[in-house]
Chain A
Amino acid sequence: MNPEVQKKITEDVKSHKIIMYIKGNKGMPMCGFSKRVMDIFEDLGANFETRDVLSDPEIREGVKEFTQWPTIPQIFINGEFIGGCDIVTDLYTSGELKKMVDAVK
């Protein structure tokens, strides 16, 4: 992976408590899974940053290499990769995600 892209992602995930790489943005999600993840975090009252991978193909591929995870969306809390829509939904249903979000509020 392009070291510039890796550096940018590393800094981004470290400098935001909650950041998610999605298709589209808060006002205009372009994928059902990206929308669901944002809805979940909004429901938990979380402040979160988004990056639109559709507007930056290098980031779109770079983040997949960064996490060794082949799909979008990808969610980070406190610089740690949490998973995609599937895992975030499971964490939300079990109440675990609320604890994680409250811990970084």
Chain B
Amino acid sequence: MISAQKIQSLVEAALPGSQVQAEDTTGTHDHFQMIVVSPAFEGKGMVERHRMIYAILGAAVGGAIHALSLKTLTPSEAEKRS
């Protein structure tokens, strides 16, 4: 089992200077939503950005994490959305 907090800290540690918000969407510790704002996404397409997150979380994705809905934004994209 994994927690939203654990997922959040893993991504924050791997992407210094990023803002991460992870949330358990069903309360069953296996469906999560996460918003990651990071300059590391500059110039990268969606698939590449999501792959970066999957690489950080490793085998947990598709294992302890059954579903992970991701929003991956650069700081400027995040500003536009708020």
By a beta-carbon cutoff of 8 Å, the part of chain A in contact with chain B is: 33, 64, 68-71, 81-84, 86-87, 90-91
Contacts and interface: CB of A to CB of B under 8 A. Distances in A.
Interface of B: 46-47, 50-51, 54, 61-62, 67-70
Given A33-B67, A70-B54, A86-B69, A81 B61 contact: no
Given A83-B46, A90-B46, A68 B51 contact: yes
Contacts of A90: 46
A38 B50 CA distance: 21
Contacts of A69: 47, 50-51, 54
Contacts of A84: 50
